[in-house]
Amino acid sequence: MTRKALITGITGQDGAYLAEFLLGKGYEVHGMVRRSSTESFERIGHLQDLISLHQADLLDQLSIITLMQEIEPDEVYNLAAQSFVPTSWLQPLLTGEFTALGVTRMLEAIRLVNRRIRFYQASSSEMFGNVAEEPQSENTPFYPRSPYGVAKAYGHFITVNYRESYDIFACSGILFNHESPLRGKEFVTRKITDAVARIKLGVRSKLKLGNLDAMRDWGFAGDYVKAMWMMLQQDKPDDYVVATGQKHSVRDFVELAFAHADLDWQDHVEIDPKLIRPAEVNTLRGNAGKARSVLGWQPDVSFPQLVQMMVDADLERIRLEVAEQTPACGSDTDSDG
Give start and end residues of each alpha helix (H) in the chain. Answer: 13-24, 61-71, 85-90, 92-95, 102-113, 147-166, 188-200, 221-232, 250-260, 289-290, 303-324
The residue from 12, 15, 155, 210 that contacts ligand G4F (CB under 6 A) is: 210
The residue from 83, 121, 140, 287 that contacts ligand G4F (CB under 6 A) is: 83
The residue from 11, 88, 124, 136 that contacts ligand G4F (CB under 6 A) is: 124
Q: Does 228 bind ligand G4F (CB under 6 A)?
A: no
Please state the closest distance from residue 96 (CB atom) to ligand G4F, in A.
Answer: 15
What letter does residue 165 receive in the DSSP assignment? H
DSSP line for 255-286? HHHHHHTT--GGGTEEE-GGGS-SS---B--B
User: Of the listed 63, 88, 124, 146, which one is catalytic?
Assistant: 124
Residue 49 class from Cβ within 10 Å (0-12 exposed, 13-18 middle, 19+ buried)? exposed
Please state the closest distance from residue 154 (CB atom) to ligand NAP, in A.
Answer: 13
Q: Does 252 bind ligand G4F (CB under 6 A)?
A: no
The answer to whether residue 172 is catalytic is: no
The Cα-based distances of 143 to 6, 33, 147, 152, 264 in angstroms read 31, 31, 11, 11, 37
Q: Does 121 bind ligand G4F (CB under 6 A)?
A: no
**175 with 218: CB under 8 angstroms?**
no
Q: Which does 11 bind (CB under 5 to 8 A by kind): ligand NAP, ligand G4F, none?
A: ligand NAP
Q: Does 96 bind ligand G4F (CB under 6 A)?
A: no
**1 with 25: CB under 8 angstroms?**
no
The answer to whether residue 126 is catalytic is: yes
Strand partners, 29: 5
The answer to whether residue 148 is catalytic is: yes
**209 with 251: CB under 8 angstroms?**
no
Q: 209 φ, ψ to 5°?
A: -130, 170
Q: Does 232 bind ligand G4F (CB under 6 A)?
A: no
Interface with ligand NAP by CB under 6 A: which range of 7-15, 193-201, 249-257, 303-311? 7-15
Q: Which does 314 bind (CB under 5 to 8 A by kind): ligand NAP, ligand G4F, none?
A: none
Cβ-Cβ contacts under 8 Å for 46 (sequence gap 6 or more): none
Q: Which residues contact ligand G4F by CB under 6 A? A: 83, 85, 124-126, 176-177, 186-189, 191, 209-211, 214, 216, 250, 275, 277, 280-281, 284, 336
Q: Which residues contact ligand NAP by CB under 6 A? A: 8-9, 11-15, 34, 36, 40, 57-59, 79-83, 98, 122, 124, 175, 177-178, 184
Residues annotated as part of the active site:
124, 126, 148
